[in-house]
């Protein structure tokens, strides 16, 4: 049995970790911390857990966390890197759902997150936790940086093309038009997130620059092995008036070789052994509701004109885009069956 600690159990990714881990046959939640709610019964904050979980939130006590086998940080950026080294030294595995262990480029990290990195050596040893593409490194890692939700859709949407031995697409002028539900902004009070500001409204944000952009670029460089190849990538996120869900539409230009390739078959073969990536039949339209509450990511391909490929990717931003993928990574790190505890079917309607 894996003893689990969760730092920051009151946010959306925290409660999603709790929900999923309670269904995991090999995991036991031992400790939940909250800076503001210490002493409060978890079920008093989240009534859905009444009769299921009899734990109270605790203060962050590093010595108590050292008694766990793995600690998830469902916290704001900058928290995990303050404590990760102490936990690793004690033999505890760390999975961070924030950005502390995503970007290897320290200058980019400081630019986009407004802070210096507190454990750069540990960062270099960490694994980027995109489960399907970095499985071997995750397996042997002590620290995993869970990917951002948008970057997950972009990488899995493009990986079969970037890993092909043939040049199928132009790396220039890739466009990512992405949409997310409001839960992606976290569980906090803010004017821009209240009901009256979002209902019957649809808007782009971060158009001049979004912190997931450098993560996407660095990750695509690593997948393709082409440094600097994605400097012209355009990424524009949008806020959709729904609670959870994410849909990314990716536009790429095909080379002559790409136009002559059966891309549907390429994607199907690339992901044929991946339980949580569903390449849908040609002409399908992925919907966010088909993955609501589930760890599945669905992909569909369109070729409206010979030179243009449109890739549509849908996922639940709180599950495959965050907590579900974090548990998938935990399973890999502990040598368990990768889908353990993650077989929930999407909620419909």
Q: Please state the rounded mean pLDDT for residues 116-121.
A: 96
Size (the chain), residues: 349
84 contacts 94 by C-beta, under 8 angstroms: yes
> What's the confidence (pLDDT) of residue 139?
98
Mean pLDDT, all residues of the chain: 95
- Tell me which CATH code domain 2-125 carries: 3.40.50.720
Question: How many angstroms separate the CA atoms of 299 and 297, rounded?
Answer: 7
Reply yes or no: is the peptide bond before residue 283 cis, omega within 30 of 0.
no
> What's the confidence (pLDDT) of residue 208?
92
How many CB atoms sit inside 10 A of residue 136's CB? Answer: 10
Q: Please state the rounded mean pLDDT for residues 66-72.
A: 98
- Tell me which CATH code domain 150-316 carries: 3.30.360.10
Give the residue ranges of DSSP H helices in the chain: 12-21, 42-45, 62-65, 80-89, 106-113, 120-125, 135-139, 149-162, 195-198, 212-224, 256-259, 263-270, 324-333
Q: Judge whether 149 counts as a catalytic residue.
A: yes
Q: Please state the rounded mean pLDDT for residues 294-316.
A: 97
> What's the confidence (pLDDT) of residue 187?
66
pLDDT tens for each residue of 45-64: 999 999 999 999 999 999 99
Residue 104, helix vs strand vs coil: coil
Confidence bin at 192 (pLDDT 50/70/90): low
Buried b (16+ CB within 10 A) or exposed e, 163-199: ebeeebbebeebebbbbbbbbbeeeeeeeeeeeeebe
> What's the confidence (pLDDT) of residue 189?
63
CA distances in angstroms from 22 to 40, 211, 273, listed in the order given: 19, 32, 26
Name the strands in the sheet holding 93-96, side by side, starting at the edge strand that comes first in the sequence.
27-33, 2-7, 70-73, 93-96, 143-145, 127-128
> What's the confidence (pLDDT) of residue 188?
66
Q: Please state the rounded mean pLDDT for residues 205-213.
A: 93
Residues 6+ apart with CB under 8 A from 125: 141, 142, 143
CA-closest candidate to residue 331, choices 90, 132, 117, 88? 132
> What's the confidence (pLDDT) of residue 17?
97
The structural domains of the chain, with segments of one domain joined by +, span 2-125, 150-316
Q: Please state the rounded mean pLDDT for residues 289-301.
A: 97
Q: Please state the rounded mean pLDDT for residues 231-247.
A: 95
Residue 193 clears pLDDT 90, i.e. is over it = no
Report pTM. 0.95
DSSP-derived secondary structure letter, 49:
G
> What's the confidence (pLDDT) of residue 349?
83
Q: Please state the rounded mean pLDDT for residues 195-218.
A: 90
pLDDT tens for each residue of 13-46: 999 999 999 999 999 999 999 988 888 999 999 9
Any idea which of 14-23, 188-197, 254-263, 294-303 has the lowest mean pLDDT? 188-197
Question: How many angstroms separate the CA atoms of 309 and 166, rounded?
Answer: 16
> What's the confidence (pLDDT) of residue 329?
98
Q: Name residue, tokens 């052994």.
A: 273
Residue 335 clears pLDDT 70, i.e. is over it = yes
Confidence bin at 88 (pLDDT 50/70/90): very high
88 contacts 62 by C-beta, under 8 angstroms: no
Q: Is 221 exposed, middle or buried (0-12, 13-18, 19+ CB in 10 A)?
A: middle
pLDDT tens for each residue of 154-184: 999 999 999 999 999 999 999 999 999 988 7
79, 149, 178, 299: the catalytic one is: 149
Buried b (16+ CB within 10 A) or exposed e, 40-67: eebbeebeebeeebebbbbebeeeebbe
Residues 6+ apart with CB under 8 A from 169: 161, 162, 252, 253, 254, 255, 258, 309
């Amino acid at each position: 049995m894996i003893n689990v600690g969760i730092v920051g159990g009151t946010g959306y990714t925290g409660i999603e970790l709790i929900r999923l881990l309670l269904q995991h046959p090999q995991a036991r939640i031992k400790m939940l911390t909250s800076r503001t709610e210490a002493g409060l019964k978890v079920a008093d904050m989240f009534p859905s857990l009444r009769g299921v979980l009899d734990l109270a939130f605790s203060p962050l006590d590093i010595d108590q966390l050292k008694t766990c086998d793995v600690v998830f940080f469902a916290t704001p950026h900058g928290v995990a890197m303050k404590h990760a080294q102490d936990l690793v030294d004690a033999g505890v595995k760390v999975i961070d759902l924030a950005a502390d262990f995503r970007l290897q480029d320290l200058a980019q990290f400081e630019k986009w997150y407004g802070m210096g990195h507190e454990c750069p050596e540990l960062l270099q040893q960490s694994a980027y936790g995109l489960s399907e593409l970095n499985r071997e490194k995750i397996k042997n890692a002590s620290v995993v940086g869970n990917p951002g939700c948008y970057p997950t859709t972009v990488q899995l949407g493009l990986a079969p093309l970037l890993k092909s031995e043939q040049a199928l697409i132009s790396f220039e002028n890739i466009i990512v038009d992405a949409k997310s539900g409001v839960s992606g902004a976290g569980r906090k009070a803010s004017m821009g997130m209240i009901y009256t500001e979002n209902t019957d409204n649809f808007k782009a944000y971060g158009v001049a620059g979004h912190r997931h952009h450098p993560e996407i670029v660095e990750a695509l460089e690593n997948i393709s092995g082409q440094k600097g190849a994605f400097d012209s990538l355009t990424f524009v996120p949008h806020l959709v008036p729904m609670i959870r869900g994410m849909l990314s539409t990716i536009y790429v230009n095909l080379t002559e070789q790409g136009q002559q390739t059966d891309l549907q078959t390429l994607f199907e073969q690339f992901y044929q052994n991946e339980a949580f990536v569903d390449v849908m039949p040609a002409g399908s339209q992925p919907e966010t509701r088909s993955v609501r509450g589930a760890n599945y990511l669905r992909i569909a391909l369109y070729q409206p004109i010979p030179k243009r490929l449109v890739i549509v990717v849908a996922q639940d931003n709180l599950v495959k885009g965050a907590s579900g993928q974090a548990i998938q990574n935990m399973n890999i790190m502990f040598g368990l069956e990768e889908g353990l505890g993650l077989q929930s079917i999407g909620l419909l309607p």
